[in-house]
Structures are given as structure tokens and as C-alpha cells.
Structure 1
Amino acid sequence: MRLDHTAAGVYAIAATPFTADGRLDTASIDSLTDYYLGAGVTGLTILGILGEAPKLEAEESLAVTRQVVKRAGVPVIVGVSAPGFAAMRWLARNAMDLGAAGVMIAPPPALRTDDQIVTYYAQAIEAIGDDIPVCVQDYPLTLTVVMTPGVIRRIFENHASCVMLKHEDWPGLEKISRLRAWQAEGALKPISILCGNGGLFLDFEMERGVDGAMTGYAFTDMLVELVDLAKAGDREAAHDLFDAHLPLMRYEHQQGVGLAVRKYVLMRRGAIACDAQRNPGSSLTAAARAEVDYLLERLARRDPRRALAE
């Protein structure tokens, strides 16, 4: 199940469950994996920003990878971004040995010029080996690294192992159109494009030609359904479904508390036992929890299939 340019559908960005005292919750890793599979995902992406990867020890990262890959039965992409290439290589090679489908690499925030970005990916791929499929993460809102369409084309054309773009630019619809136009002209090889940003623009991103979603919005089943509706050409139904979830998606996408909201909703849906983050982390106030509960109640009236565990 090695990652390639045909990857499509929904690759859920997985949270990493912890107990209240900050230990890995292995039971919830299994239940969360089952939750994603039950939603109909095509694949999973673990140890990303949502997965609190920088807070894990190296052996913990490998343990999470081993457990998810063994249980999932779908392609698993492992985030291997690290300050240095030695740590990146160690996790990437070990993850692939465990059966991962590929790895995701995000650019470090210090990169500023186009040449610096292109050089970084060349060095990263040299470090991990060009036999490992790579998903390039483009997330300027958090990482502060701006990848123009031209830079993305250079990276993908320079490296056969780069097969997927995780697109999270904002605004980014025109970037998608430019990349797909280059592909149609033969100026860019075929690549998979999956979109993040909490799903906030997934309705129109699908119409611009992306292959699906890679995000952590807690209603993963909604993402799967939206992608299916869009691919089937049922535009009105896709937008109606998106509109029903938009208030919660907006609330969940807040900087600083977004992960706390996602974990709380995952706990309410019975996917994990505890919504705790490993420190340093954030938590919801009683007022914020009440607001999320209110949004969940409103959502249930418009989309009754979104059951909650009580």
C-alpha cells in the first residue's frame, strides 16, 4: 500500500489520544483508528500537527505508528518533520519498515526564499532516501513558509518520490487551479492533491479539482460523504451538507483552541476516552464546552445522522 499519485478520498489527520496525566492512551488509539475506519476513510495520516508529534519521544512515535499501521488496513502516512535530518531519517525508515505507505514532510519556518524551500526538500529526500513516497505539506498559515505554485512544481518535478501535496494555503483555490492547469498542459507530472485547513474550503476545493481531504475535522464521516457527493457531481447536496457543518468547523478552526475542540468532539462521539492534550497544551473552559455542545445540538437538528455517544 505504498503512496502514489493516484491517492484520493479522505485521509484523516489523526489525533494522538492521551490520558489525563499525559500518557499515551493505547486503548483510545485503537478506538480512534476504528472510528476513522468506520467513517469510511481511504487512509490515515498520523503524527502531524494535530497529532501533537513534537511532544512525543522518538520511541513513542514509533509505537503509535506500529499500533495504527497494524490495526488500520488502509494506507498510513506518517509525519516525520523534525528539526534535523537524522531524526527525520530514523522515523521515516522505521515507519516504512513497519508498513507505512509514505511520509509527510513540512518545511521548517526559517525558510524564506524559493531556492531555500526547494533546497530543503532536496536535502530531506536525500536524507530519508528517494525510495520513500513523500507528501509535501503546504501550510503557510501555521508554518509561515509560502510555497508558490512554481516552487511546488520545482519540488515535484525534481523528485519522483514526491507524489502528494497536502494543500492548506489560504486563499488557495487559484493555486489548485494553476497546478491542475499545468498538469493538463503536461508541464507538471500527475500528483495527488488533498486539502486540509479544517475542511473550511473543501466544498470549492473539490470543484477546483483536488482528489479529496486530509484534515482532522472531528466529523470524519461528513468529509467522506462530502467528497463522494462532489465526485458524483451532486453540487447542491454537497454544499448543503457543508453548510450544515460550517458553524462547528469554523469554531473548531480557531487558533489556540482548535485541537481542544476537536478532541472534545471526538470524546463526545465516543472515539477517545479523554480529550486531554500532552503539555504544553490547551483546554476548553466551561463556557467554551457549552458553546460546542450548543453547536452539536444545532448540527444534530440539521444532520440527524451525526450521533453522539452519551
Structure 2
Amino acid sequence: MKISNDARGVYAIAPTPFHDDGAVDEKSLDRLTDFYLESGVTGITVLGQLGEAPKLEHSEALAVASRVISRAGVPVVVGVSAPGFAAMRALSDAVMDAGAAGVMIAPPASLRTDDQIIGYYRNAAKAIGPDVPFVIQDYPLTFSVVMAPKVIRAIVAENPGCVMLKHEDWPGLEKISALRGFEADGSMRRLSILCGNGGLFLDFETERGADGAMTGYCFPDMLVELVELAARGERNAAHDLFDAHLPLLRYEQQPGVGLAVRKYVFMRRGILASEAQRAPAGSLSAAARGEVDLLLSRLAAKDPRARMDG
């Protein structure tokens, strides 16, 4: 079940559930995994930025990944980004042995030049080994690393294991078009492109050639429906669905509190027992919770999935 450059659909980015005391909540993790499967996702990604991966010890990270892999029955991608290649290799080896479908690698913020970025991924690919398919995470708004399309093309050319791009540039629609243009003119082999940013631009990203989403919006079932509508060419229906969710998408995308919003909604949906995060963490004020509740109630008038009990 390894990922390939033909991957399409929705890979849900999973938050890591915690108890109020900071311990990993395994029961909520199981419910979350089951919920993603019920939502129709193609795959699941764990230990990403919004999975609070840097706050986990190696043993905890491996336990979270292994638990999701053993339960999911769909491809699971694991974030293995680390300050050094030894730690990256150790986690990559362990999760692939546990049955992961591939790994995701984000660039460190210290990279500045094109050559540094290309060299980093060359060394990362060497560290994890040639048989491990990997995802480039391109998120300059968080990592402060800007990858031009030609840089991504060079990484793909050098590394057969590079099969997917998690596209989170903003604005990034022209980048998708440029990469698909490289494929069309034969200067780059096909690359699966799944988009992040909470799904904030997914309506047009699919039209530009993206294969789907790899993001953690709190309604993954909507993302699945949107990608399916786009694939069938039902443009107006796809945009209508997107427009209904846009106010909540926008609210969830706020820097600093986005994960808090996401966990709060998952708790309201009965999936997480707690909205807790590990420190350092943002939190929602009573006013913010009221605003999210209002957005959910307004969304429920257009999408019954937003109806909350109680």
C-alpha cells in the first residue's frame, strides 16, 4: 500500500488527541481514525505540523503512527521531519516497518537558496533509503522556505522516491499550473499533487490540476465530496459546497488558533474527548467558541453534517 505518483483523493491530516493532562488519548485516536474512514478518505497523514509532532517523544510518535496504521486499512503517510537526518531515518525506518505507505518531509527554515533546498532533499532521500516513497511539504508561510517550480522539478528528477507534493504555497495556483506544464512538455515525470492550507483554495486547486487534498479541515467528509464533484466535472455543485463551508474554513485557518478551532469542532462532533493540546499551544476564548458555534449553526442550514447535538 505504498503511495505512488498516481495518488488521488483526500488524505486527511490527523491531529493528535490528548487528554487534559497531556497524555495521548488512544480511544479518541481510534474514533478519529474510524471517522476518517467513514468520511471516505483515500488515506490518512499523521505526525504533521497540526499533529503536534514536535511535541511528541520518539516512542510516542511511533505509537501514534502504528496505532493508526494498524486500524486504518488505507494508506497512511507519516511526517518524519526532524532537525537531523539520524532522527529522520530512525522514525522513517520504524514507521515503514509498521506498514506506513510513505513519509512526509518538510524543509528546515534555514534553507535559503535553490541549491540548498535541492541538496537537502537529496540528503533526506539518501537517509530514508531508496525504497521509501516520500512527500515534499511545500509550506513557505510556515517554514519560510520558498520552492520555485523548477526547484521541485529538480528534486523530482534527482529522487525516484519523490512521488507526491503537499502543495501549500499561497498564492499557489500558478505553481500547480507550472508543474502540470512541466509534465505536459515532458520535462518532469508525473507528481501527485495534494493541497493543504485547510482546503482554503481547494475549489480552484482541483481545476488547476491538483489531485485532491491533504489537509485537516474539520469536515473531511466535505473535502471528499468536493474532490469527487470536481473529478466528475460538476463545477457549480463543487463551488456551491465550498462556498457554504468557506466562513468556517477561513476561521479555522487563523494562525495560532487554527488547531484549537479544529480540535474544538472535532470535540463537538463527538470524535475527540478533549480539545487539549500540548504546550506551547493556542487556546480558544469563550468568545471564540461562541463564534465557532455560530458558524456551525449557520453552516448546518446548508449542510446537515454541521448539526451538533446539544
TM-score scaled by length of structure 1: 0.99
Counterpart position of 1:48: 48
1:111 to 2:111 alignment: yes
Deviations 1:18-72 (A, max 9, x none): 0001000000010000111111000000000010000000000000011000000
Q: CA deviation at 1:309?
A: 4.3
5+ residue gaps, structure 1: none
Percent of aligned positions that are identical = 67
One-letter amino acid of the counterpart of residue 14, structure 1: A
Counterpart position of 2:23: 23
SS of corresponding position for 1:17 = coil
Measured on the aligned residues, the alpha-carbon RMSD in Å equals: 0.7
One-letter amino acid of the counterpart of residue 165, structure 2: L
Counterpart position of 1:32: 32
Counterpart position of 2:202: 202
Residues 195-234 of structure 1 aligned to structure 2 (within 5 Å): 195-234=195-234
One-letter amino acid of the counterpart of residue 279, structure 2: N
1:276 and 1:214 map into 2 onto residues whose CA distance is 23
5+ residue gaps, structure 2: none
Q: Is the 8 A contact 2:297 2:307 kept in 1?
A: no
Residues 104-253 of structure 1 aligned to structure 2 (within 5 Å): 104-253=104-253
Which has the higher mean CA deviation after the structures are superposed, 139-148 or 125-134? 125-134
SS of corresponding position for 2:111 = coil
2:305 and 2:257 map into 1 onto residues whose CA distance is 26
Q: CA deviation at 1:130?
A: 1.4
SS of corresponding position for 1:302 = coil
One-letter amino acid of the counterpart of residue 245, structure 1: H
Q: CA deviation at 1:282?
A: 1.5
Counterpart position of 1:97: 97
1:22 and 1:279 map into 2 onto residues whose CA distance is 8
Counterpart position of 1:58: 58
2:167 and 2:251 map into 1 onto residues whose CA distance is 21
1:126 and 1:174 map into 2 onto residues whose CA distance is 30
One-letter amino acid of the counterpart of residue 131, structure 1: D
One-letter amino acid of the counterpart of residue 66, structure 1: S
Residues 260-299 of structure 1 aligned to structure 2 (within 5 Å): 260-299=260-299
Q: CA deviation at 1:276?
A: 0.4
2:27 and 2:260 map into 1 onto residues whose CA distance is 20
1:309 and 1:57 map into 2 onto residues whose CA distance is 36
2:103 and 2:176 map into 1 onto residues whose CA distance is 22
* Cα 1:309–1:160 shift into 2, 3 Å: farther
For this pair of structures, how many residues does the alignment match? 310
Q: CA deviation at 1:308?
A: 2.6
One-letter amino acid of the counterpart of residue 251, structure 2: Y
Deviations 1:67-126 (A, max 9, x none): 000000000000000001110000000000000000000000000000000000011111
Q: CA deviation at 1:128?
A: 1.1
1:306 and 1:281 map into 2 onto residues whose CA distance is 26
1:30 and 1:187 map into 2 onto residues whose CA distance is 43
TM-score scaled by length of structure 2: 0.99
Q: Which runs of 4+ in 1 moved over 3 A?
A: none
